[in-house]
Chain A
């Protein structure tokens, strides 16, 4: 009790120095938490992908396409409940800056395979019957102010020209992690145009999506499908949706690693700064620690007082950092919504934030604690004069 009193009063002694330390730790913890959240958001596509869906693509690379005729063959494979297909459209809305993912898909099967994209029955019907209809995610519709019935024009990049669509549905994600920034429309609409302009590229799809009767069948079905098209003109690579998403994320792996590294570096920097501050503080109080020991307090008592102060300051910073991370995450989530569909602080991040603050306090306190605990009393007392 008494020791706690001593620790807290010591911590409040140099108001400016303590405040700066607390704010420093808070900012470091804030940065650490936000960078972590950013990395997690990056991987979200992987996490929210379903284990009971497979993606089949051209074995050479994503850029190469597959014949549309494979659908029927894949549909026959035992264990496959539904097959949809689509192309990455790569359309631009007004400006390249306004990036969002957009696909041409086979609408009926696509909606079947993605039950997490929730549409009302009316929307669903309206979309399916309109060849030029499209469906957009809730976030996307909010971003550009699109409502049902609105006409939207995308400029094609892979498929040149201006493409007109009518928003027939705005889907909500059934899960917290569902991507609400997608845009998809009828593959037929795309294919018909391509057939006229560049017949060479017609009747080809970028990917197939396979629904499985059970996630356990993933390996078996993958092998079977790829075996079917072995030695054909277009060999396939079938993998789980998760692995497929992962291959996208891994393209940016270097950036992610760098971000991770930075998040740790931030903590290390504040650790060094805090250690310096604590060492300075302890040096000023050597005579007090020597006095305590003179009175009969053991090294452990003194160590507790020094270490406690370091922890109190660091944890205060940690708590402040966690508190700030919520409004910060909201702000960042809003600005980055086109890149990362979900940007939210998780409980795990909060624990890690606090753990980081604890480590900062502990490491910063180690050296002064050791000094305080082991000072020679006579030397310590001599300091005062």
Chain B
């Protein structure tokens, strides 16, 4: 877990604020947050429940909008993109890993991994190659015709990871990826994410409550009451 010097920032957040309207009341969730993430970083985002971790992650991943501030990912100011452009940008640049896997129940493991590739111009054969490679990385080649309901939680999460990396995105975002898994499966998934970071140089931003998960990361940041503390290690 040696900290390398930062060559280039891949994510850069400036004065980001976000609040929710609850009735007549405005509830601030994120307040003037500024930070950077290095290319090839494995960042763990921690903090108490309701502190705004998911909200921040969603904004970085381009599925939620901030009220003010700018978010630049891979040189693109995503806070200024339109809904449609943002969708296209996500398809190319972001890989998602969710707590509850979010696989399509009616699609097989293979088809689930293939799903994001349908938005690319790849041919059927090229897609097959990519899907098989991704499934090989998560070591599930022998389960590609299984439906999610026929897989264990850990296996489902590995399929989700294969789906997240199959498009070779700029960043990987994970919201409590081990939150719904037992110890062994969680270790498995974290090991896999560590490998993706080390061997494939993937930048990973992971929200977690689990200190053991945070241990795997290079850097831990804490979010509390809408403010980011730069503590970590």
Report the minimal beta-carbon distance from B170 to chain A, rounded to whole angstroms.
13
B58 within 8 A of A: yes
A288 at the interface (CB under 8 A from B): yes
Cβ of A13: which chain B residues have Cβ within 8 Å of it?
105-106
Instruction: Give the complex CA separation of A87 and B55 in angstroms.
Output: 88
Mask, A1-34, CB within 8 Å of B = 1, is 0100110011001000000000000000000000
Q: Which of A288, A296, A298, A384 contacts B104 (CB 8 A)?
A: A288
The answer to whether the Cβ of B99 comes within 8 Å of any Cβ in the partner chain is yes
Given contacts A287-B102, A291-B102, contact A378 B64 (CB under 8 A): yes
- B98 x A381 contact (CB < 8 A): yes
Kindly name the residue among B63, B106, B114 whose own CB sees the greatest number of chain A CB atoms within 10 A.
B106
Q: How far is the CB of B54 from chain A (nearest CB, A)?
A: 8
From A291, A298, A381, contact of B87 by CB (8 A): A298
**Residue contact B107 to A9, C-beta cutoff 8 Å:** yes
A254 on the B face (CB < 8 A): no
A347, CB-defined interface residue at 8 Å: no
- Bound form: Cα–Cα A297–B63 in Å: 12
Cβ-based interface call for B88 (8 A): yes
- The answer to whether B96 has its CB under 8 Å from any CB of chain A is yes
Determine whether the beta carbon of B104 is less than 8 Å from that of A6.
Answer: yes
Least CB distance, A376 to chain B, in whole angstroms: 8
Q: Are B104 and A377 in contact (CB under 8 A)?
A: no
Partner of B88, one of A10, A292, A296, A381: A296
A385 to B: closest C-beta gap in Å: 7
Give complex CA distance A125, B63 in Å: 90
Given contacts A6-B107, A9-B106, A381-B98, whether A295 and B58 have CB atoms under 8 Å apart is no
Whether B76 is near chain A, meaning CB under 8 Å from some CB there, is no
In the complex, the answer to whether B116 meets A295 with C-beta atoms within 8 Å is yes
The yes or no answer to B119 lying at the interface (CB within 8 A) is yes
> Are the CB atoms of B87 and A2 closer together than 8 Å?
no
Assuming the contacts A10-B106, A378-B64, asked whether A297 and B87 have C-beta atoms less than 8 A apart, the reply is: yes
Contacting pair B100 A295 (CB below 8 A): no
Residue in A292, A298, A377 whose Cβ sees the most chain B Cβ within 10 Å: A377
349-385 of chain A: CB within 8 A of chain B: 377-378, 381, 384-385
Question: Does A293 sit at the interface, judged by CB under 8 A?
Answer: yes
Q: Is the CB of B99 within 8 A of A385?
A: yes
Asked if A120 lies at the interface with its beta carbon under 8 angstroms from chain B, I say no
Interface residues on A, range: 20 to 34
Q: Would you call A295 and B115 a contact (CB within 8 A)?
A: yes
> CB-nearest residue of chain B relative to A291?
B102
User: CB of A294 within 8 A of chain B?
Assistant: yes
Q: Does B4 contact A (CB under 8 A)?
A: no
B90 close to chain A: CB less than 8 A: yes
CB-nearest residue of chain A to B176: A385
Residues of chain A within 8 A (CB-CB) of B58 are 377-378, 381
Contact A2 B118 (CB under 8 A): yes
Q: Which residues of A contact B104 (CB under 8 A)?
A: 6, 288, 291-292
Cα–Cα, bound, A293→B84 (Å)? 10
Contact bitstring B78-109, A, C-beta under 8 A = 1, else 0: 00000010011111100010111010111100
Could you tell me the distance in whole angstroms from the C-beta of B159 to the nearest C-beta in chain A? Answer: 13
Whether B107 contacts A297 by the Cβ 8 Å rule is no
- Give the distance to chain A from B88, nearest Cβ to Cβ, in Å: 6
CB neighbours (8 Å) of B100 from chain A are 287, 384-385
Instruction: Find out whether the CB atom of B102 lies under 8 angstroms from the CB atom of A384.
Output: yes
Contact A297 B119 (CB under 8 A): yes
**Are B96 and A295 in contact, with the CB atoms below 8 A?**
yes
Residues of chain B lying within 8 A (CB to CB) of residue A295: 90-91, 96, 115-116, 119, 163
1/0 contact string of A277-305 vs chain B (CB within 8 Å): 00000000001100111111110000000
- Decide: A294 and B90 in contact? CB cutoff 8 A: yes
Inter-subunit contact A377/B119 (CB<8 Å): no
Contact A377 B64 (CB under 8 A): yes
Bound form: Cα–Cα A64–B98 in Å: 87
CB distance from B129 to the nearest CB of A (A): 17
Report the minimum CB–CB distance from A287 to chain B (whole Å): 7
Q: Which of B64, B87, B102 contacts A296 (CB 8 A)?
A: B87
What's the Cα separation between A2 and B113 when bound, in Å?
A: 13
Closest to B160 in A: A291
Cα-based distance from A287 to B101 in the complex (angstroms): 11
Q: Contact between B63 and A296 (Cβ–Cβ < 8 Å)?
A: no
Q: Which residues of A contact B90 (CB under 8 A)?
A: 294-296
The answer to whether B119 and A296 touch across the interface, beta carbons within 8 angstroms, is yes
Q: Tell me the minimal C-beta distance from A372 to chain B in angstroms.
A: 14
Asked, given contacts A10-B106, A291-B102, A295-B96, whether A378 binds B91 with beta carbons under 8 Å apart, the answer is no
Q: Which residues of A contact B105 (CB under 8 A)?
A: 13, 288
B96–A298 touching, CB < 8 Å: no
Q: Which residues of A contact B106 (CB under 8 A)?
A: 6, 9-10, 13
CA distance A180 to B101 in the complex (A): 69
What are 5 pairs between A and B in contact, CB < 8 Å? A288-B105, A291-B104, A295-B163, A297-B87, A297-B119
A-B pairs, top 8 by smallest CB distance, nearest first, are A296-B91, A9-B106, A377-B63, A378-B64, A291-B102, A296-B90, A295-B116, A378-B58
Given contact pairs A377-B63, A384-B100, a sample of 5 additional A-B residue pairs in the complex whose CB atoms are under 8 Å apart: A2-B115, A291-B98, A292-B104, A295-B163, A378-B58
